[in-house]
Every structure is written in C-alpha cells, then in structure tokens.
A and B are shown apart, each in its own frame.
Chain A
C-alpha cells in the first residue's frame, strides 16, 4: 500500500472518496488501525484514515450529549466526560491487549489509541451493555461520507429522534463498508458514585448462569453479570460476578439483598469498589480469557441460557471461554484452525445465536466466514443497501464478507 491518506477535514475525506470512486480504486478505511486485524483482511489500493479528524466539538453535560470528530481518541472523550462525573455507558472495550502486537507492528511500535469513530463503526460494547444498551444505542447522531463522496447526516444531538430512516444504527457496526464516519454525537450518562461486586462460587457454568439470571431478574439494577470459568483470586472454580453501581447507600443496600438472594447458588462474598473497578475492566477487555498469541479469539452471542453450551463447545476444541452479559456473550480463545472455527460456528448456529471471528491469523480470516451468512433474501437486500451507499464498491471491500 502507498502512503495512507489522512485528510485534515471532512471535505478532504469526501474528496479522497470521490477520487477513489472515480478511479474505481478501493480504499481500506480505518481510524488509528487498532482493530485492523478484526474480521477479514481488505484488499485495497490505498488506506484512508480518519486519524487527523480530531477534537470534541460539543459537550453539554446537562443535556447528556457529546460530539466529537471520528479520529478523536476514545480515551480523550472518556477523560472529558469523567471530569464532569459522566461516562460512556456501554463501556467499550480496549482491544489493545487482544490486537496489541499486530496494531503496534503497523504503527512502528507506538501504542495506537482507539478512535471514537472506530468504536462506533465496530459497535463494540462492554459488560454494561446487558442493562444500558450497546454503543449503537448511545449513538444519537452521525456524519459520514458515503461511497459517492457525499456528506450525509442522520440523527442529531437530541436524545429522542425518529425523523427518517435511522442511518446511525445502520452505520454503527458496518465496519467502514457503508460510509466513512467523520463525526459522532453520543449520549452520555452520569457515572455512579460507587460500585461493588457480589461473587458467587458456583458448582458449574449452568448454575452460574442461573445465578446471573436471578441477579438480572431482581429489582436491584445489576449493571454487570459475568461468569469466569477458571475462577478468580482464591476462588478456583467457576465464579459468577454481579456488579451494582449507584449512590453509596444504594450499593450497600442492593449488594446486601443480592447476597441473600444468591446464597442458594453457592458461597457468596463481596468485592469493594477498589478491586471491583479493575476486575470489570479486565472482564470488559476479555483479559481473564488469557488468550495466547497464537490462539484465535471468537465472540459468540446467544441467549444467556445457551451460554454454558457454547463454553462446552469451546472446551471440546481445546479452548477456553469467558462469559459476560448474563451468560449470553461468550468470548472463546482456541486453536486458530478451520476445524476449530467450524466447531464454534456450528455451536453458535445450534444455539440460534451469532458469532464473530474476532482475532485470527490472516489466512484463516481470509478463508472462512468471519460472521454468520445471511439467508438469500436478506443477502440480496444487503447487496442493494451496500450499492445504495457505496455504488462503486470502494469502501473496505471484503471486510465483512468475501466479495462484499
């Protein structure tokens, strides 16, 4: 690839895309490239980066909104809202450890920072997703450049908006294949005063998911519900984690009630804020999975009660699992082989769920379907939607699916 294009403004992005469309020369799209190794490798003449589009353009804490250009580091936004006691509620993961080696290689060793545009384009959410919604649920407005080089807006800077088709949702999670996001407006929420985690040492994963379901089905407002098959600290076996975040008095009251309610599931104990915060950061970033450099990583989403079955499938391929979202999100680390991939795909399909091959060596990612195939009528609509946004097919071709 020749020198990356990193236009300093939206007009420059539009111009670059118009030129690429006119020449029918595909572009690989990225922010700082921290997730370049996600999904399929893109064959493109040039790289177009949003990294020079930076800066917070609007922040109104009392209106619960923040806008920033796509290349703004996520960390900068999180710091700005934290200063006003607020947060990006979906708790987007830091994939630095997962993709670390690969990302650093492409940036010449410097530790690249995830951009807000990249987080939106991949719709990645952390543990709090189970109760507050995904990244896409907090995306209020968007500006993007479509494959014809037109600047298009959707949504806005208000919390409620149903004006026209919701292109925010369509663009979130479209991995740069439908448009290049240039600016986003996100909903922010007050960060809780404090937090704590109830742990339950459970006999097996099925019991663990039942404990998480009991917690999520309680009136106590659980904001994180994960299951560590390999245990945690001095708890060797599977351990269920349930987080409460609120005002201090509420956290004390609610964790107390949860401990009583969850006692039938196993030995219960409490982790205070000081240890709870880093523990959930680790869960968010899938650190307990302890994936080795040569292993592939999958993210499987199923109904929570099907989670233990997916974890069993992971074990059958010689891998390990980490369960979040009440048991419904199963992170898997395992052998980076086609056979292992097909086993994960089959397990997800049997549970009528979804999967993403999150990390793997390039040949594997190029050879297999990294996302579930769509049924024919939907695939036909998808192809027409892609053409409606990117008529020349220049944006990240092949990123999500072969030939698409």
Chain B
C-alpha cells in the first residue's frame, strides 16, 4: 500500500463542525458524511488503493464550489476533486482528512454552436454525453477514451485523456478552447474562451493534464468536429512483433496517418478471441487494427495502399472490412480487451508508458523476459502509431506477494520506457500510482520546478497534495 501523508489531527477532531459548515454550503444530500454513503468514494479505477475521506460534497454550481474552496482554504482543509472516479492511476483517491468535491452534479450542457463548432459544458458532463448532444448534426467530440460512457470532461481535462483515435484527432489538450475554474483560494476565473490561442501565458495548456493539482474545473469549452463520411477498419496479422512494428513504420512513412492504429500481442489476441470470438488469427505473434476515414472510394483507396504495404511484411493474414458491420467485428475484440484479460485473471494492473515506436521490438522482448522472471503473465494492447503501451499485468489480489510482484514488474516496465527515451505515462496520469517513479524521469531540481509552479497556484498544498510528486518532499517548495 502506498504511503499517504499523515492526516492533520486538528482537522479530524473538527470533523462534525466541518461537515456542518459544508452542509450550509451544499445542503441536504449534497454533503455526505455517513460511512456507508462515503464508501463509494474510497477508491477509483485503481481499486487496489482505498481510503475513506473526511466528507464528500456534491456542489451543483460553480459558486458552491468556490464557497467550499474558500472555506477549506481558510481552514487549512485538504481537498480532492473527483469526476467519475475512473482514474487508473489513483488520481481521485481520497485522504482521511480531505473533503472530496464530486463534480457529477455539474452536468449541464450550457451551449452548443455548430457554426462556431464548440460546446460549453459543465465539468460533470460525460465524455460520451458531449458527442451524444451533437451527433444529430453529424458532429462529435474527438477524444474517445475507452471509459467514455462514464468518465467526465473535467476528469478528461485533468488527465489530458486520449483515445483510440487520437493519432489523427489529438488528445484532450488539442480539443479545448476554454475553462472556468475555481482557484485553491476560492476565486472563480476563466481561461481561454470561445476563441483559439488566448494571448498571454497558456493557462489552458498548463491546467490540462494537471491532475487536480492547480484548481477545480467547473466548465469546459470544447471544440466539436464534423464526423467523416465514413470509416472502415482492416486487420493484419504478423509472424513477429518486430515485423508488425516495421509495418507500422512503413505505413506512417508512406504519408498515411490512419485514424487509428492499434497493436495487440499474442497473449492479448488469445484473451480477446476467447472472450469476443472476433475471428482473430490465433497463430499470429502480433496483430494490427488499422482504421481509415473518408468516402467509400477514399476508404477503398487508402485500405488498398495499406494492404499493399502490409503485404510486404509477409503477413499471416489480412482482413479488410467491406461494411460497417465487418469493421465493428474487427473492433469488437479490441474494445473488449480489458474485459477479456479480466476473464483470464480477475486482477490486473494496466500500465501506460510511452516509447519511441522504433524501440518497440526491444521493449516487447525485454517485457517478455521480465514476465518470466516475475512469473506473471502480461498481455499487450496499445496505440501503435504513437507508442503508448498498455501492458496488462495479471496477478492474484488475494495473494499480497503476487500484488507486490505485479507492482514491481509494472515499475520495471515504466523504467524501461524512460530508459529507451519514452515516459512513465501517456494518458492515465501519474496519480498516486507512479508518484514515486517520477524521480526516474525527472531530476530533483526539475521536480522542484514543477512543485514551485503548483505552489504558485496552491500555496498551502491543500489540493490533491498526495499525487504526482514523490511524497518525501511533497511539501511547499520555497
């Protein structure tokens, strides 16, 4: 279990009074203090870590958020913001002496403008909720994390989430125009707006991916895009991961940026096939799912070019969808990958490092060796075009030794990612999970530089203070 900062005894002692004060701001059921009702907030998508909070508030306006923040600021109370709680890095993990601010009641869509191609939504609107609100005009919100049915735009902004289609459309940061936020001191400010590239420091860019360290986001202005005429996928299976990696390089080198380019290794292919019966080739060492967009004729032309490139790499098989249904069948296994691995092993850790794509064969080989050394299975599914790996390490949560090994294996994988020129996290964030690995990627003075920037926003280190930075010195940096 990861270390959490010691709770402030005086805050714990004042719990009843604090709950009353919070209830005066967020009345009735919008302030939660009963243990049974607090229980759902003790963890997030990283369920290995649990901690009950002091209290939970569910404000329904920005003004309420500001009042709660001001009260907590004046009273030195720690705060943990929470969207849907799907973080895979423990980003929404509470603290014993912290108030959790849940944003789910801020769930209104405030404005949709198809001419200016933007939507203004509150932080608790789900990712898919935005697309649902604009799809009748053929528009969509581009970043599409697999958790999009549940995760909220406020969480997406704070994690700078990506999705299967970000090779073409970019991640959250590339699809935002403006934010309304509450500072740790309780002031309401707006950054960006309905326009591009606000002059001055790029607060919008700095807030994005800041993991709830700098402020509470209450409203987001996103860009919405008109969808393509159509999209279609193909599948190509290869005899080796190295060969599949070379095929990926050749596709991108040819000047084609497919809208999605997903890679699965053998253990993952087998898990998905057993689960989804998608017709994946079981003799393949590696498989690519490649999706292109455009009119039917354009799709045909692009798929023909890609097929021709893949054919140069001695594929075991290739399958080009000829209809939307066949495309869906190809995607079916990939979309169920996490569930499929979950069926083989009830417990798994999903890692998220990124590597330069050229390092793929070396990294997969080394990961295989580590898997043998640790005696734990690993399945790999990832966004091949951008090198964002998702190794799923399978373990047994009832066996503490197995969990310890899984964590050590995961840490070794991430160290390897950094060693080959990549990074600890491509889209899931540092959270508590990778906090202590930050020293692998950054030097002490670089982390201090980041801490000083956090201090500039949050001088008292009250906002999510136990995340992102190694704990030992996660104190106000002078």
User: Which A positions have Cβ atoms within 8 angstroms of B?
Assistant: 60-65, 85, 123, 125, 129-130, 133-134, 136-137, 146, 150, 152-154, 156-170, 172-174, 178, 189-191, 193, 210, 213, 216-219, 221, 247, 249-250, 253, 301-305, 325-326, 328-329, 352-356, 371-372, 374-375, 377-378, 381-382, 384-385, 387-389, 400
Query: Which residue in chain A gives the minimum CB-CB distance to B245?
Result: A62
Given known pairs A162-B426, A166-B205, the reply for A62 and B457 (CB within 8 Å) is no
Given known pairs A63-B358, A152-B445, A305-B115, the reply for A162 and B160 (CB within 8 Å) is yes
User: Which B positions have Cβ atoms within 8 angstroms of A?
Assistant: 113-118, 138-139, 159-160, 162, 166-167, 170-171, 173-174, 183, 185, 187, 189-191, 193-206, 208-210, 213, 226-229, 249-250, 252-253, 255-257, 294-295, 297-298, 301, 354-358, 383, 385-388, 421-430, 434, 438, 441-442, 445-447, 449-450, 452-457, 459, 468
A31 → B minimal CB distance (Å): 20
A64 close to B200 (CB less than 8 A):
no
A377 close to B187 (CB less than 8 A):
yes
Given known pairs A123-B197, A219-B228, A387-B456, the reply for A161 and B426 (CB within 8 Å) is yes
A389 close to B195 (CB less than 8 A):
no
Among A164, A304, A372, A375, find the residue whose CB has the most chain B CB atoms closer than 10 A.
Answer: A164
B159 → A minimal CB distance (Å): 7
Bound CA–CA A178/B429 (angstroms): 25
Given known pairs A169-B173, A217-B117, the reply for A385 and B426 (CB within 8 Å) is no
Given known pairs A354-B199, A387-B456, the reply for A190 and B257 (CB within 8 Å) is yes
B453 contact set on A, CB distance < 8 A: 165, 167, 170, 385, 388-389
A378 close to B255 (CB less than 8 A):
no
The listed residue (B183, B199, B423) touching A356 by CB distance below 8 A is: B199
A304 close to B160 (CB less than 8 A):
no
Among B194, B357, B388, find the residue whose CB has the most chain A CB atoms closer than 10 A.
Answer: B194
Given known pairs A165-B206, A170-B202, A381-B456, the reply for A130 and B196 (CB within 8 Å) is yes
Query: Which residue in chain B gives the minimum CB-CB distance to A156?
Result: B423
Given known pairs A164-B430, A217-B117, A381-B183, the reply for A158 and B355 (CB within 8 Å) is yes
Among A136, A153, A157, A388, find the residue whose CB has the most chain B CB atoms closer than 10 A.
Answer: A388
Among B162, B167, B200, B206, find the residue whose CB has the most chain A CB atoms closer than 10 A.
Answer: B200
A384 close to B456 (CB less than 8 A):
yes
B297 close to A253 (CB less than 8 A):
yes
5 sample A-B contacts, Cβ–Cβ < 8 Å, listed by A number: A160-B166, A167-B453, A169-B204, A219-B228, A305-B116
B249 → A minimal CB distance (Å): 4
B197 close to A125 (CB less than 8 A):
yes
B197 contact set on A, CB distance < 8 A: 123, 125, 129, 134, 173, 301, 354
A163 contact set on B, CB distance < 8 A: 423-425, 430, 434, 438, 441
Bound CA–CA A213/B113 (angstroms): 11
B428 contact set on A, CB distance < 8 A: 162
A166 close to B160 (CB less than 8 A):
yes
The listed residue (B174, B455, B456) touching A133 by CB distance below 8 A is: B174
B347 → A minimal CB distance (Å): 25
Bound CA–CA A162/B353 (angstroms): 10
A178 contact set on B, CB distance < 8 A: 201
A302 close to B195 (CB less than 8 A):
yes
Query: Which residue in chain B gives the minimum CB-CB distance to A165?
Result: B450
Beyond contacts A162-B425, A371-B199, A382-B200: 16 other A-B pairs, Cβ-Cβ < 8 A, are: A63-B356, A63-B357, A65-B356, A125-B197, A134-B197, A160-B387, A160-B427, A163-B425, A165-B450, A165-B454, A166-B205, A190-B257, A216-B117, A303-B113, A353-B193, A375-B190
A249 close to B301 (CB less than 8 A):
yes
A371 contact set on B, CB distance < 8 A: 199-200
The listed residue (B205, B257, B298, B445) touching A170 by CB distance below 8 A is: B205
A160 contact set on B, CB distance < 8 A: 162, 166, 171, 354, 383, 386-388, 426-427
B160 contact set on A, CB distance < 8 A: 162, 166
